[in-house]
Structure 1
Amino acid sequence: MRDFEVVIEYPDSPEQIWQLLNDSGFLEFRWTQMPKIHCQVRVEPAGARTWATRAKVDIAQMKASSPYGKLLPDQLIIEVVEDWGDNPAPGLVAQGEFRVRLEKVPLRVQAETTLEPAGGGKNKTLRRVSGNISVDIPFIGGKVEREILSYLQDFARGEEDAAARWLAQ
């Protein structure tokens, strides 16, 4: 199990970003913006301020560049649950939990997430996601965790780009 923290900077006010992160259209759109990824996405409400995204992702081209790619199927079923709780701490717009699970792959992500105004500007918002990732594969799980963590900044930049494109529409 490895701990991580990633910070995503959104190019709009906290109120706008709160709406963005609760818009099923955007939650689906951001998956379609990932380069080299072809997927089918379904986003559903899973309670008050909770969204469950289920993506069927074709990774055949992408996995060829990974030393651990042969351990993965050509298609992944990824489930992401973003659960924004009630009553955020002072100074926060929102806070909650972020969970990722893959079918038939022993990987889990469990994290806390917060949404807050960026210091000094009304048109920037920060989302912090901090938690841990666990890959339960004997002997190589730790190596796989490290490789996945090496891509976190790419995923954060992809989220920022998708938000900027969505907001520009």
Structure 2
Amino acid sequence: MATSTETSHGYSFPAAAVAATMVDETYLRDRLAAVGGPKGELISLAVNGAETVVKLRQGIPADKLPSFVRSLIPGDLVIERVETWRPSGEGATASVHATVPGAPATIECSIAISAAGEGCRVAGRLQVSVSLPFVGGKVERAVIEQVARLLDTEHEFTQRWLSERS
């Protein structure tokens, strides 16, 4: 079983600027320092032609997790994330694969950055799969909630980061 959701965030910057930011090493390091949580780090950034692959690690403090998740995963929740970005029109698309080491959980996401009026829209479709009998669906919903909060926080950080550099 898997649990899915969709997200969408608007930016007051052009799609090309937001797309370039998502693969900018300084931005990624700044974002991880600000909102990456415990153990947040940029593992690698590789450009291969028009494709950019970003590997990063993020953490969610244990005290921010529901108690039933803390009983299944001791300590902070660590998410290892691989984002593969490609140009698309004025913006970009990405496929994201994330895992939770030590837990039977995977996160798949597709992201599209597209022009919208004077700015752009970043839309994502997220799917979480947790292979645990009886409680998998409950854990999936908790992970989706935490990832949605993380994406909201990353959006706020990105908007502020771009504003400070304009």
> Structure 1 stretch 140-149 or stretch 65-74: which is displaced more?
65-74
Structure 2 residue runs of 5 or longer lacking an equivalent are: none
2:104 corresponds in structure 1 to 106
Alpha-carbon distance in structure 2 between the residues aligned to 1:152 and 1:77: 12
More strand, by proportion: 2
2:29 alignment counterpart:
28
Opposite residue 161 of structure 1, the aligned amino acid is: E
Q: Which structure is higher in helix share?
A: 2
Q: Please report how far the alpha carbon of residue 134 of structure 1 lies from its aligned counterpart in structure 2 after TM superposition.
A: 0.3
Identical positions, percent = 22
Where 1:104 maps in the other structure, the secondary structure is: coil
2:12 matched to which residue of 1? 11
Listed as ranges, the matches of 1:61-76 within 5 Å are 61-63=63-65, 65-76=66-77
Aligned residue type for 1:45: L
Match of 2:142 in 1: 147
Aligned to 2:156: 161
Q: Give distance in 1, aligned partners of 2:79 and 2:125.
A: 19
Query: Helix, strand or coil: the match of 2:103?
Result: coil
Structure 1 residue 42: Cα displacement: 2.1
- Deviation, structure 1 residue 40: 3.6
- After superposition, the Cα gap between the structure-2 partners of 1:56 and 1:128, relative to the gap in structure 1 and judged at 3 Å, is closer
Sort the Cα spacing of 1:125 and 1:31 in 2 relative to 1 into closer, same or farther, 3 A: same
Call closer, same or farther: CA 1:77–1:50 in 2, change over 3 Å: farther
8 A Cα contact 1:43 1:51, kept in partner: no
Give the secondary structure class of the aligned counterpart of 1:68: helix
* Inter-CA distance 39–45: structure 2 relative to 1 (3 Å threshold): same
| Mapped pair 1:42 → 2:53 | no
Counterpart code for 1:155:
L
Report how many residues are paired: 161
Q: Which runs of 4+ in 1 moved over 6 A?
A: none
**Deviation of residue 94 (structure 1)?**
1.5
